[in-house]
Amino acid sequence: MLLTSLLSQDEYKTEIFQELYFKRWGVEIGYDVLKNIFNLENFTGLTQIAINQDFYATILTNNICSLIMNDVMEERVSFYNEAKERKYLYQLNKSFSIGCMKNSLVLMFQKNVREEKIYQMIEDEILGNLLPIKPDRSFDRKKHSSTKFLVSKKAGF
């Protein structure tokens, strides 16, 4: 269902909204990652400073993970897909990639650590868990009841 303030159906045909929504799809995927992989709405504390700290740490972690995943996708996965003929093209497993990075990102910010070595370790682990892109697959959506987040159940980074 689409809500809009553009009321003239003669001037604004329904078809243009489908194209606009498709252009926005990357943004929707970004929100999905923040909400469902990073659990952005699940805070570790109840104070304003704890919520701000969780929010900004999650956004920073998401940005760093996105940069690394884009770099790996452009350089290594593209080469992997073109190197030899394969039945399917492959893509990154986002959930797995973020999971393995969140454990290593803290190490990258410590003193006396070789970032290149940690980056290479992350890259190798991500490349070992690529997913095939299988065309024409669809699944029925499962409706979940909304659950409330418990502060004590927040997974720490």
The answer on pLDDT for 155 being more than 70 is no
For residues 101-129, average pLDDT: 83
Q: What was the pLDDT predicted at 35?
A: 92
Question: For the chain, give me the number of helices (H) and strands (E)?
Answer: 5, 2
| Phi, psi dihedrals of residue 50, rounded to the nearest 5° | -65, -40
Q: What was the pLDDT predicted at 145?
A: 63
Q: What was the pLDDT predicted at 157?
A: 56
The answer on pLDDT for 49 being more than 90 is yes
Confidence tier at 34 by pLDDT (50, 70, 90):
very high
The answer on pLDDT for 39 being more than 80 is yes
Q: Give this prediction's pTM.
A: 0.71
The answer on pLDDT for 146 being more than 70 is no
